[in-house]
Homo-oligomer: A and B are copies of this chain.
Amino acid sequence: MQPIDRTLAGQLPAVTPGDAVRLAGHVHRRRELAAVTFLVLRDHTGLAQVVVKPADGQEVPPEETPVEVVGIATASSQAPGGVEVTSPVVTALSGPAHTPPVELWRPEIAAGLPTLLDHAPVTWRHPAVRARWEVAAASLRGFRATLDSAGFTEVHSPKIVDSATESGANVFEIDYFGRPAYLAQSPQFYKQQLVGVFERVYEVGPVFRAEPHDTVRHLAEYVSLDVELGFVRDHRDVLSVLREVVAGMRAGIETHAARAVERLGHDLPVVPEEIPVIHFAEALELVGAPEDEPDLAPEHERALGAWARQTYGSDFLAVEGYPMRKRPFYTHPQPGDERWSNSFDLLFRGLELVTGGQRLHRLADYEEAIRARGEEPAAYASYLQAFAHGMPPHGGFALGLERWVARLVGAANIREVTLFPRDLHRLTP
């Protein structure tokens, strides 16, 4: 007999009743009634119902056991999608699974965050939990599709670096063949150098922060979506690309994770044709903060988010012009008033999601900026090569994947949307 091709759960509703099918997946739910046992099978496309009668002579193994089911597709108004499988032959593909730490078959997972995280290899199987990452993966598809079609080149920069120069603090030290090295806090220096090569670059990869605080928003390792482009007029050109990227990520989710969005029950954000922009100085005024505040406090960001929603119908607001003294040394000042910078934060529903801006591009400006913070340009020799040999006006931004998804799905803690989070206390699973 020819083996029957596998039918995915999501395909079952389209099978002609009476046809033989072969399903494969985990036992999601085993419900034993007096006259019948329901086996709900879960694969990566959804759930399928299998009806096991005593006359079938089949054992249904415990929940989470991987099984193959060969049976007959049968119309049933009770079954999800209108088709179930009857007269099954059920074959366990491993020994019986141990009882999971939480009941994965319940519509909502009933467990606290520590349980979810300690048992991540299993708790991610819950469809509502898995949906969170499906949103992340679909966002990545949208991110890359947008940039690929705009002539960007994907790059991969080293994560082991020789110095902690970008910020100096919160870096992890490595034993690198007997000498010290560090884990990169961002691909910032590399993506800038690569603008000299490819003009427009992006990178999706891990970044590392030895973040000594235990907060709901910070991780020691997260996925950073980095973009950098050359021949810009100023940071507004960067903001235009960011708008396209955010719209593309939203489109990616709509196209590739519609089922996950429906399950999560959250509205996708409104991305306006043009993201409204407010200057930092005006933002302070709007929220009633003193005009010498160097940064926006979380409550200011929330107030600005509400204001943007009300005024522009937008879930996004860019705040430009942050004070130079609070931005990294490579930040380009605002022409005409060097207290301010050509940099921005993008607030998403009142929370900082992206930081970006225009960078310095002239060698002399770098040398001056480095000396102004009491350092010697020689310490940055390898980075400064790119500027010595000609770099165009450029800028870019970085967006944390987990922070984006947390905000989209309404997660209170960023760890809920991270596959295997790393923080001050957690190094496993």
Most buried by B among A97, A119, A389, A419: A389
Return chain B residues, CB-CB under 8 Å to A148. 141
- A38, CB-defined interface residue at 8 Å: no
Contact with B along A362-381 (1 / 0, CB 8 A): 11100000000000000000
Q: Please give the distance in Å from A41's CB to the nearest CB on chain B.
A: 12
Tell me the bound Cα distance from A23 to B144 in angstroms.
Answer: 26
Return chain B residues, CB-CB under 8 Å to A386. 121-122
Tell me the bound Cα distance from A392 to B27 in angstroms.
Answer: 11
Interface pair B177/A95, CB less than 8 Å apart: no
Return chain B residues, CB-CB under 8 Å to A429. 193, 382-383, 385
Total copies of the chain: 2
Interface pair B137/A153, CB less than 8 Å apart: yes
Q: Please give the distance in Å from A395's CB to the nearest CB on chain B.
A: 13
Which B residue's beta carbon lies closest to that of A153? B137
Tell me the bound Cα distance from A43 to B386 in angstroms.
Answer: 16
Return chain B residues, CB-CB under 8 Å to A393. 66, 93
Q: Please give the distance in Å from A209's CB to the nearest CB on chain B.
A: 11
Q: Please name 11 further chain A to chain B contacts, defined as beta carbons within 8 Å, in addition to the given A64-B389, A190-B420, sorted by A numbering.
A: A26-B196, A66-B390, A95-B364, A98-B389, A124-B194, A125-B197, A158-B206, A159-B208, A161-B427, A382-B429, A383-B429
Q: Please give the distance in Å from A36's CB to the nearest CB on chain B.
A: 23
Return chain B residues, CB-CB under 8 Å to A137. 153-155
Contact with B along A154-167 (1 / 0, CB 8 A): 11111111100000
Return chain B residues, CB-CB under 8 Å to A64. 389-390
Q: Please give the distance in Å from A10's CB to the nearest CB on chain B.
A: 10
Chain A positions 193-227 with a Cβ under 8 Å from a chain B Cβ: 193-194, 196-200, 204-206, 208, 210, 212, 220-221, 223
Which B residue's beta carbon lies closest to that of A219? B158
Q: Please give the distance in Å from A136's CB to the nearest CB on chain B.
A: 8
Interface pair B231/A177, CB less than 8 Å apart: no
Dominant secondary structure of chain A at its interface with chain B: mixed
- A181, CB-defined interface residue at 8 Å: yes
Q: A200-B44, A390-B94, A424-B177 are in contact. Are A220 and B160 (CB under 8 A)?
A: yes
Contact with B along A130-154 (1 / 0, CB 8 A): 1001100100110010001001011
- A6, CB-defined interface residue at 8 Å: yes
Partner of A390, one of B97, B193, B212, B428: B97
Question: Which 3 A/B pairs are nearest by Cβ-Cβ distance?
Answer: A97-B390, A382-B429, A66-B392
Chain A positions 336-368 with a Cβ under 8 Å from a chain B Cβ: 361-364
Return chain B residues, CB-CB under 8 Å to A230. 66
Partner of A100, one of B130, B153, B204, B389: B389
Tell me the bound Cα distance from A402 to B137 in angstroms.
Answer: 24
Q: Please give the distance in Å from A146's CB to the nearest CB on chain B.
A: 13
A interface residue count range (under 10 / 10 to 19 / 20 to 34 / 35 or more): 35 or more
Chain A positions 97-145 with a Cβ under 8 Å from a chain B Cβ: 97-98, 100, 119, 121-122, 124-125, 130, 133-134, 137, 140-141, 144
Which B residue's beta carbon lies closest to that of A118? B382
Interface pair A44/B390, CB less than 8 Å apart: no
Partner of A121, one of B144, B361, B385: B385
- A268, CB-defined interface residue at 8 Å: no
Contact with B along A1-24 (1 / 0, CB 8 A): 000001000000000000000001
Partner of A122, one of B27, B223, B364, B389: B389
- A312, CB-defined interface residue at 8 Å: no
Return chain B residues, CB-CB under 8 Å to A253. none
Which B residue's beta carbon lies closest to that of A423? B177
Q: Please give the distance in Å from A307's CB to the nearest CB on chain B.
A: 32
Return chain B residues, CB-CB under 8 Å to A382. 121, 428-429
Return chain B residues, CB-CB under 8 Å to A162. 427-428
Contact with B along A171-182 (1 / 0, CB 8 A): 011111101010
